[in-house]
Chains A and B, each alone.
Chain A
């Protein structure tokens, strides 16, 4: 097909909805940097955006502003986080981490060092979750992943264990590993990066049969939304 024959396909391609031989032909033109097709696709993207903007306008609920901006360290945070300087908060979590890991005696010292390195990395984002019962913080960093710190988590019932889950924006929750509990009821889990934080809606913890490899959560104890 030549450019003339593709003239009605540009908008559909820019929408991502072109299929069949026309799509193959247009991609072949783009693949060889056809100047006309590149220009026409760019124009079509722009035209489509004008159509997208023609929808009736609605105001989002006011709470959405707080939820979104909390993810960037702005807006409402729990009192203890606002009251503490950031460095003190990080240090507190690091101390908790050291206490938990050493009391659990399950992880080698190298993991402690890498976790502290994770905590000290610039760009780490923090959200809090829970109030009564299990509560704590999630620290997130694009490259290093997430650190889940939970306090006040009851011991798992006999024959059961805690499993950690990533809840994506779309699709089913994904198991990311067992969450070990220290005697004092605290737990720390590291979900390794790199991580596309925009694709994760929440982190959840469930109770599962001990030693199992769950595919879907059996009983969710809590789910911590990353939006704050």
Chain B
């Protein structure tokens, strides 16, 4: 268990005590993150606003499942925002819905790394994203922000499934390598 103090702990405690004022703090702290992730995916201001609202309601309704000792609030909220955008886009395209229950559970956000190493890892990812070639970036965009499966990406780009799998996995390998490299630096 990490001994690093978690700055979100008191905010999470207040949310769990159902203090509406804590939602104002939460909103001010994460509005940019939530709105940016959603807008990047849906590209429509009105829809992005609706989904931002839905994301904050979901955080409020699910906060009791979040363990402040272990979880990282920002990553949890980023994941919820992305998943709401993907839910919306899949519904508008008549694609089958994805269950994000397991992915959004608190256990998935366990980490013992320090704040400094987290920042280092994030910077490494940002650098790695810039090193991806256009084809790799395209499939990362479709998988991460649009929530398309490999088969759906192949249909969308009209490319063979094998090619899509190969490009996507090479891109993920670059990103994973950058994160692991930073973690061991």
Residues of A within 8 A of B (CB): 8, 11-12, 14-20, 30, 41-42, 45-61, 64-65, 67-69, 71-74, 123, 169-171, 196-199, 201, 227
In the complex, chain B residues whose CB is within 8 Å of the CB of A16: 83, 86, 98-100, 103, 147
Q: A48-B79, A55-B37 are in contact. Are A227 and B53 (CB under 8 A)?
A: yes
Least Cβ–Cβ distance between A50 and chain B, in angstroms: 5
Contact B27 A8 (CB under 8 A): no
Check A17–B35 contact: CB distance below 8 A.
no
Determine chain B's interface SS by DSSP, over half rule.
helix
Contact B150 A58 (CB under 8 A): no
Contact A19 B150 (CB under 8 A): yes
Do B125 and A51 touch across chains, with their CB atoms under 8 A apart? yes
Contacts from B to A (Cβ < 8 Å): 18, 20-21, 23-24, 27-28, 31-37, 39-40, 45, 48-54, 56-58, 60-61, 72, 74-76, 78-79, 81-83, 86-88, 91-92, 98-100, 102-103, 107-111, 121-122, 125-126, 129, 140, 143-145, 147-152, 168-169, 172-173, 175-176, 179
In contact, B54 and A198 (Cβ under 8 angstroms): yes
| Chain A residues, Cβ within 8 Å of B51 | 169
Which residue of A50, A58, A74 contacts B39 across the interface (Cβ within 8 Å)? Answer: A58
Q: Would you mind naming 27 contact pairs between A and B with Cβ atoms under 8 Å apart?
A: A8-B169, A8-B173, A12-B168, A15-B147, A16-B147, A17-B98, A17-B147, A18-B149, A30-B102, A42-B109, A46-B111, A47-B125, A49-B74, A49-B76, A49-B78, A52-B145, A53-B75, A55-B145, A58-B32, A59-B32, A60-B31, A60-B52, A68-B53, A68-B56, A69-B27, A201-B50, A227-B53
| Listed residue (A19, A57, A59, A72) with the most chain B CB atoms within 10 angstroms of its CB | A72
Shortest Cβ distance from residue A69 to the other chain B in the assembled complex, whole angstroms:
6
- Residue of A at shortest CB range from B41? A55
The residues of B that contact A64 with a CB separation of less than 8 Å are 31, 35, 49, 52-53
Q: From A55, which residue of chain B is reached at the shortest CB distance?
A: B40
Contact B45 A61 (CB under 8 A): yes
Closest 7 CB pairs of A and B: A198-B57, A16-B98, A49-B75, A60-B35, A72-B20, A55-B40, A45-B108
Tell me if B58 and A198 are in contact (CB < 8 A).
Answer: yes
Q: State A113–B117 Cα separation when bound (angstroms).
A: 58
